[in-house]
Amino acid sequence: MTEPRWNGARYDEGTGNVNGAMEIGFCDNPLSMRLTKLSRSIEGKVAIVTGAASGMGRATAALFADEGAKVAALDINAEPLEAVVHEIADAGYPVKGWTLNVADLDAINQVIPEVAAHFGGIDIVVNNAGIGAGGPVDGDEYEATWRRAFDVLLTAHVRIVRAALPYLRQSSGGRIVNIASTEGLGATKRSSPYTAAKHGVIGLTRSLAVEFGTENITVNCVCPGPVHTGLTESIPEADKREFARRRVALRRYADPEEVAHATLSLVLPAAQYITGVALPVDGGLTIRNA
C-alpha cells in the first residue's frame, strides 16, 4: 500500500479530523477516511432476480454477484437457470436457483420465504421475468394473450413484492426495481397487451414508491429499449439494424449488461433518494424526433 505523504498533519482519533497541512498527491489512505457517507456497494445484500435464466435477468444476476450480492436466481425454465447458477457459483459467488413460474401465486408464496430463510433476509427485488405478448386487438387469441401478459408482466410483480415485503421491511434499505419497457412510455402497433401491462408496471412502481415512502424501501423501474436477448432473438438481424438506424440515437441494440448496470445504480445504498422513477435505458429511442 502506498503511504500518504503527510506534511506535518496529525490525525485526531477522537474527532476523525486531520489537523495541519497535507501534500496533495495520489495515495491510498491508511486511515480509511472518506469525504462522504453513502455507499455504492451491494456487497452482502440479498437480491432476488426473476427471469434470471436469460437476457437481462441473467446479466443482472451476474453483475450483482460480481458486486458482492447473494443472488437468488428465479426462472420458469429449469435447465438454463441451472446453467446460470453454475456459471455464477463457479466464479465463487453465493447463489441459489429456484424454478418458479411467476404467474403462480402459491409458488411465489412458497419460494420467497425459502429465499429469505436460505440467505437470511431479502434486500433487493428485481422483477424482470417477461414474455412477448402482442397481436391485433381483434385476433382470436387476444383474450388469452391479454390474460397471460398481465399475469406474467404485472400481477406477478406485485405478488412478489407482497411476498418479499416483510423481509424488505427488515432490510437496512429495501430496493425494488421493476423492468418495464419503452412500451410503458409509448406504444407500438399490435402490441396492446404488452404495452398496457408495461404501462401498468410504471403505474405500480409509482404507487408503491409513494406507499413505501416512509419505510426505507425505494421502488423504481427501468424502461429498456431494444436489447439483444431471448425476447428479440427471432427478429432478423437486418431488421434490428434497420430499426436501430431509424429510431435509436445510438443506432444499435443494447447488450443486456448495459441495462443491468442501470438496475444496479437504482439498488445501491447511495440511491436512497431515488424512488418512483421510470428510467429509460434505450440508447435515446424515446427522445429522438428525427
Residues 56-75 that bind ligand NAD (CB under 6 A): 56-57, 75
Does the protein bind ligand NAD through residue 263 (CB under 6 A)? no
The region of 60-68, 125-133, 244-252, 266-274 touching ligand NAD under the rule CB under 6 A is 125-133
Site for ligand NAD in 214-253 (CB under 6 A): 224, 226-227, 229-232
CB of 134 to ligand NAD, least distance (A): 11
Does residue number 102 form part of the binding site for ligand NAD (CB under 6 A)? yes
253 is catalytic: no
User: Residue 33 Cβ, how far from ligand NAD at the closest point, in Å?
Assistant: 41
Indicate whether 286 belongs to the interface with ligand NAD (CB under 6 A): no
Q: Does the protein bind ligand NAD through residue 51 (CB under 6 A)?
A: yes
One residue of 42, 46, 47, 53 binding ligand NAD per CB under 6 A? 53
Q: Of the two residues 4 and 57, which places its CB atom closer to ligand NAD in the complex?
A: 57
Cβ neighbors of 5 (< 8 A, separation 6 or more) are 22, 23, 25, 27
Give the list of residues 6+ apart from residue 261 with CB closer than 8 angstroms, or none.
63
Cα separation, 177 vs 262, whole angstroms:
10
Q: How many CB atoms sit inside 10 A of residue 48's CB?
A: 30
Q: What residues act catalytically?
A: 194
